[in-house]
A and B are shown apart, each in its own frame.
Chain A
Amino acid sequence: MDWQPSMSRSRLAVDIQHEVPGFALAAAFNADPGITVLFGPSGAGKTMLVDVLAGLVSPQRGRIAIGDNVLFDADRGINLPPERRRVGYVFQDARLLPHMTVESNLRFGWRRQPPERRSIEFSQVVKLLGLEGLIDRRTRDLSGGEKQRVALGRAMLTSPRVLLMDEPLASLDHARRHEILPFIERLRDEFEIPIVYVTHSIDELVRLAATVVLLDRGRLVAAGNLEELMRRLDLAAYTGGADAGAVLMATIVRHDERFELTYIAFHGGELAVPRLGLDVGRSFRVRIHARDVALATFRPVGLSTLNVIPGKITAIVGTERAPQVDILLDVGVPLWARITRKSAVDLRLTVGAPVYALIKSIAFDSDR
């Protein structure tokens, strides 16, 4: 990764080890401004790790720093209490103060920061999170989604240098999740701080993560860029492999007014999708589900599918008994196709064979 002064000043650097009876946690990673997702199955130690970052759990060994600012250093005997870490924490259950109004909740942390440290304005957060109508409400009268928005605002108003979010959407239903997600993205875009986001949802991972830290049973399995981790076959057990589909970055190339199409480029080719309301040059993340990709051994003619991309088979994953197999392709980027085992046999598909991928549809996870 390139060394950038502005980034390293606000970079969260973590290298800790902590043991409790029956469980050992060891993790080392960096988080730069943007969203770093702590991902892994339940029992991986994700929540323990964010509790360690917040100062709620003191690890036995290691160091935690934000830029030059040391929060914890076992060797030097430094261990800042939670209230002095300037680390915002959004819990799975909002944990609003029940005896206070929404406004008092929002101002609780804000008032406890010296004025010169308040880099974030009250009105700015209220507007960003759409809290105008809730200010005078009692917290118990709020819906789950509203509570979580207040919890987000409350954490941001402490002007934190790092924001921790522990499965903030897990206690919400599907509709509410989609109500909150844009707000999280707005926070990310508006404030230049590292956000450490815990989830075990692949959808949230793909939508939000710039960087992924993959944990399993207290161990760091892998850390790095989302697209790179998603294409690694050895991590398919964690990242979902073909179930999750291929994740790629795409850029808007041009709009076709006549047919209401937009052409997007990715590393390996161009795709036509129904017209998008984005400017040419904009980059965003798309997901191509394995079930939306069909294969042909020669370039098909007389076909309604617009997107046909040549590539090579990298791997064939599937058991003898299952009706379907997953084919990992290299079309410049990795791409998954889920086809029947019968087709794979009939087409004599083997690793290394050239094929054409027919992409029927593309999912846009983010609103960007």
Chain B
Amino acid sequence: MSFSLTTLEIEALTLSLRVATWSVLVSLVPGAAIAWLLARRSFVGKGLLDALVHLPLVLPPVAVGYVLLLTLGKQGLIGGWLDRFFGFTLAFTWQGAALASGVMAFPLLVRSLRLSFEAIDRRIETAARTLGAGPFDVFRNVTLPLALPGLLTGVVLAFTRSLGEFGATIAFAASIPGETQTLSLALYAAMQSPGNEDAAFRLMCLSFVVAYIALIGSEACARRIDRWIGSRA
């Protein structure tokens, strides 16, 4: 059995990392905004928004992918519009794969950010206001730094969830080698084709290594943040 990776497998790995990174990066700002809204504000339809954000956690991923295809596909309402005016297609592209896995990972990011926003002592934010900091200044320099542990947890969860995403991606972006075939899709493809057991085994090992590095890296980061903030014992 050969342990050296083929070009196709290396492509699957870099594509996976690119897709997962972009899915997290794109989710960050809306995720933080929605988490903050859910943690701090009461408004009409808050329950609906909360449920909507959490839907991908409970829906079959394939169903989410199909919904994305219906709305953002070339024939879809938004997708058709994007195609017509910008010549931009999401379906069956790596950007589409990033979007699909981003949607699936979104609730995890929002959840952990929301929890850490809720855990912040709001009296400290009030004190910052009396020291001359406006609401956005307080968010940027007090709330966000204090929510950093939660942000980190959310990012790691979302990143690893994106790496492993399968159902929504295959429905929305298909499994095109070199374009949308991420690690898990490549692994599945290798398992399906006879005589490819070696490739399947290597891809499985690769998935392990990537996930493990992400976890260890985040733990090291968390410890540094803890030393810095000292919010946890």
Contacts and interface: CB of A to CB of B under 8 A. Distances in A.
Interface of A: 54-56, 81-89, 91, 93, 95, 97-99, 108-109, 112-113, 138, 140, 154-155, 158
B145 interface: yes
A158 B132 CA distance: 8
Interface of B: 121, 123-124, 126-134, 137, 142, 145-146, 228-231
Most buried by B among A83, A89, A154: A83
A81 B130 CA distance: 9
Closest 5 CB pairs of A and B: A109-B131, A112-B132, A95-B127, A89-B130, A82-B129
Residue in B128, B132, B231 with the greatest tally of chain A CB atoms within 10 Å: B132
A344 to B, nearest CB: 51
B127 A99 contact: no
Given A91-B123, A140-B230, A97 B142 contact: yes
B228 to A, nearest CB: 6
B128 A56 contact: no
Contact of A88 (B121, B130, B146, B228): B130
A99 B228 CA distance: 6
B230 A97 contact: no
Given A97-B142, A99-B145, A99-B146, A112 B124 contact: no
Given A91-B123, A98-B230, A99-B229, A112 B130 contact: no
- Kindly name the residue among A91, A95, A109 whose own CB sees the greatest number of chain B CB atoms within 10 A: A95
A95 B129 contact: no
Nearest to A100: B145
Contact of B132 (A91, A109, A140): A109
A55 to B, nearest CB: 8
A170 to B, nearest CB: 15
Given A98-B230, A140-B230, A158 B127 contact: no
A247 to B, nearest CB: 32
Nearest to B123: A95
A99 B142 CA distance: 8
A54 B145 contact: no
Contact of B133 (A85, A89, A108, A140): A108
A367 to B, nearest CB: 29
A112 B230 contact: no
Contacts of B230: 98-99, 138, 140
A163 to B, nearest CB: 11
Contacts of B231: 98-99
A140 B131 CA distance: 20
Nearest to A54: B130
A154 B124 CA distance: 13
Contact of A83 (B134, B145, B228): B134
Given A98-B231, A99-B145, A56 B124 contact: no
A140 B231 CA distance: 9
Nearest to A141: B230
B133 A83 contact: yes
A12 to B, nearest CB: 15
B119 to A, nearest CB: 12
Contact of A98 (B126, B131, B146): B146
Instruction: Among A89, A97, A138, find the residue whose CB has the most chain B CB atoms closer than 10 A.
Output: A97
- Residue of B127, B128, B129 with highest tally of chain A CB at under 10 A: B127
A366 to B, nearest CB: 28
A158 B133 CA distance: 11
B129 A81 contact: yes
Nearest to A85: B130
Nearest to B132: A112
A98 B130 contact: no
B229 A108 contact: no
A154 B35 CA distance: 31
A195 to B, nearest CB: 15
Contacts of A54: 130
A140 B124 CA distance: 14
A49 B130 CA distance: 15
Contacts of A84: 132
Nearest to B228: A99
B118 to A, nearest CB: 16
Contacts of A88: 130
A154 B133 CA distance: 13
Contact of A97 (B124, B129, B132, B137): B124
Given A95-B124, A98-B230, A99-B229, A83 B146 contact: no
B223 to A, nearest CB: 15
A56 B129 contact: yes
Given A81-B134, A108-B133, A138-B230, A98 B124 contact: yes
B35 to A, nearest CB: 19
Contacts of A97: 124, 127-128, 142
Contacts of A93: 123
A318 B129 CA distance: 50
